[in-house]
């Protein structure tokens, strides 16, 4: 069913991400009507209300009672995502929740369950999904039938606000986008995780400064590995999927090298129908938040019927990965996801 009226949306959390990305994109979009912004911090709330030209409200519960509010964007700090989003879902509001979906996988799971049960749209703010690069990469990766993924996101030192000991802090704050890309490209349900972390070199605290994560599928027959650190200034980064029918890789998250074949046998050149090609994409994540919000609106009005953005269940798996990685690093053992998700084992 198509609805030409813009979707009434509110923003909870007036930090840089909330106002600069979501608030600004909502105001730019003809498909959304930003009704109000909400923050517990008076200064932040008032500055955001003024900048975006909308009402400022202190308590998000007041917004959830309003019938003109159809959707809520949750862009608070991670530990408040779940309680706010759960209240919004229970009030029948569609939710777009920033990454990481929740503090841990056990908290994320009821969110995914609740949105599915209540029949509201739930999306996680992995805006990379809406970049041309990720779209082409995902499609080409599916075409080669993935067996292995290797993705690195090496970067320089991060700002003081990222220095805290939780599994989603430090270098994981940005690596979560790459972890999500790896999960999306591999397809299927991850089963277990091996991991290691490095802490304490930059500031002498427990912030994760480097991480290695290996994700197992199909009893270990398929794996995805994500490597990241804040010691990798100017290091080259790789995004690569190797599959039964070829491989896809990029060293700049813009140009993709794709090699496909029709079958391989033993022997150095025993490859049938080998074909190589290069696809250039626009790369970048700059316009992706706008696209993510417009798609969110299209899903609500029924213009789009298939969700392209990350579901809450996908967000739950991304959170589960880093929680499990930290457990694996501490114990030196493989961690089954069922134990992290509270579904058994
Ligand atoms: N997708 C991306 O690329 C991307 C980029 C940056 C940040 N983020 C994510 O966006 C979220 C916000 O990041 P940020 O840097 O803007 O954070 P921030 O800490 O600057 O802002 C969060 C705001 O939420 C407010 N808040 C907390 N609890 C509240 C409540 N109960 N009601 C109302 N307001 C409340 C705080 O007062 C604060 O102003 C985080 O989850 C972060 O990981 C995503």
Helix (H) and strand (E) counts in the chain: 10, 17
Q: How far, in Å, from the CA of 15 to the mean position of ligand 1?
A: 5
Q: Supply the residue whose CA is at minimum distance from atom 17 of ligand 1.
A: 15
Q: What pLDDT, on a 0 to 100 scale, did the predictor assign at position 5? A: 80
Q: Is the CB of 125 under 6 A from ligand 1?
A: yes
Give φ, ψ of 266 to 5 degrees: -65, 145
- Choosing from 10, 13, 51 the residue with most ligand 1 atoms within 8 A of its CB, the one to mutate for a pocket test is 13
Atom of ligand 1 nearest to the CA of 58: 33
Q: How far, in Å, from the CA of 308 to the mean position of ligand 1?
A: 23
Q: Is the CB of 76 under 6 A from ligand 1?
A: yes
> pTM of this prediction?
0.96
**Domain 7-128+288-309 classified CATH 3.40.50.720?**
yes
Q: Is the CB of 15 under 6 A from ligand 1?
A: yes
Q: Are 316 and 109 in contact (CB under 8 A)?
A: yes
**For the chain, what are the domain ranges?**
7-128+288-309, 131-284+319-339
Q: Is the CB of 44 under 6 A from ligand 1?
A: yes
345 CB neighbour count, 10 Å cutoff: 11
Instruction: Give the pLDDT of the chain (345 residues) as one tens digit per residue.
Output: 444 689 999 999 999 999 999 999 999 999 999 999 999 999 999 999 999 999 999 999 999 999 999 999 999 999 999 999 999 999 999 999 999 999 999 999 999 999 999 999 999 999 999 999 999 999 999 999 999 999 999 999 999 999 999 999 999 999 999 999 999 999 999 999 999 999 999 999 999 999 999 999 999 999 999 999 999 999 999 999 999 999 999 999 999 999 999 999 999 889 999 999 999 998 877 789 999 999 999 999 999 999 999 999 999 999 999 999 999 999 999 999 999 988 865
Cα distance between residue 270 and residue 6, in whole Å: 57
Sign of the CA dihedral with 217 first, then 317, 322, and 299 last? positive
Q: What pLDDT, on a 0 to 100 scale, did the predictor assign at position 342? A: 82
Q: What pLDDT, on a 0 to 100 scale, did the predictor assign at position 1? A: 45
E strands in 141-201: 146-154, 192-199
Q: How far, in Å, from the CA of 44 to the mean position of ligand 1?
A: 11
Fold entry, domain 131-284+319-339: Dihydrodipicolinate Reductase; domain 2 (3.30.360)
The alpha carbon of residue 68 and the mean position of all alpha carbons in its chain are separated, in whole angstroms, by 28
Cα distance between residue 86 and residue 91, in whole Å: 9
71 CB neighbour count, 10 Å cutoff: 24
Cα distance between residue 253 and residue 340, in whole Å: 31
Q: What pLDDT, on a 0 to 100 scale, did the predictor assign at position 240? A: 98
Atom of ligand 1 nearest to the CA of 44: 39
User: DSSP 3-state helix, strand, coil percentages of the chain (rounded to 5)?
Assistant: 40, 25, 35
Sign of the CA dihedral with 152 first, then 25, 136, and 321 last? positive
Q: Is the CB of 14 under 6 A from ligand 1?
A: yes
């Amino acid at each position: 069913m198509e609805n030409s009226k813009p979707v009434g949306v509110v923003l909870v959390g007036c930090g840089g991400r909330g106002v600069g990305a979501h608030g600004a994109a909502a105001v730019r979009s003809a498909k959304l009507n930003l009704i109000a912004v909400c923050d517990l911090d008076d200064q932040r709330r008032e500055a955001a209300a003024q900048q975006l030209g909308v009402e400022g409200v202190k308590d998000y519960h007041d917004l959830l009672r309003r019938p003109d509010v159809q959707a809520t964007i949750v862009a608070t700090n991670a530990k408040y995502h779940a309680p706010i989003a759960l209240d919004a879902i229970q009030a029948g509001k569609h939710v777009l929740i920033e990454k990481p979906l929740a503090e841990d996988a056990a908290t994320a799971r009821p969110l995914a369950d609740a949105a599915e049960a209540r029949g509201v749209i739930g999306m996680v703010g992995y805006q990379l999904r809406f970049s041309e690069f990720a779209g082409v990469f995902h499609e080409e990766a599916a075409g080669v039938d993935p067996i292995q993924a290797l993705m690195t996101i090496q970067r320089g030192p991060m700002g003081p606000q990222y220095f805290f000991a939780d599994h989603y802090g430090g270098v994981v704050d940005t690596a979560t986008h790459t972890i999500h890309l790896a999960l999306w490209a591999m397809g299927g349900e991850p089963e277990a995780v091996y991991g290691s972390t490095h802490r304490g070199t930059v500031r002498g605290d427990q912030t994760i400064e480097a991480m290695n994560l290996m994700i197992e599928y199909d009893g270990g027959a398929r794996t995805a590995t994500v490597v990241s650190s804040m010691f990798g200034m100017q290091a080259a980064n790789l995004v690569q999927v190797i599959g039964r029918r070829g491989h896809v890789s990029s060293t700049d998250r813009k140009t993709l090298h794709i090699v496909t074949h029709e079958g391989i046998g033993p022997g150095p050149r025993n490859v049938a129908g080998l074909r190589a090609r290069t696809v250039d994409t626009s790369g970048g994540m700059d316009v992706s938040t706008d696209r993510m919000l417009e798609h969110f609106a299209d899903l609500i009005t029924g213009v789009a019927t298939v969700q392209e953005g990350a579901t809450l269940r996908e967000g739950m798996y991304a959170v589960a990965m880093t929680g499990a990685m930290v457990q694996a690093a501490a114990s030196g053992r493989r961690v089954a996801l069922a134990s992290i998700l509270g579904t058994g084992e």
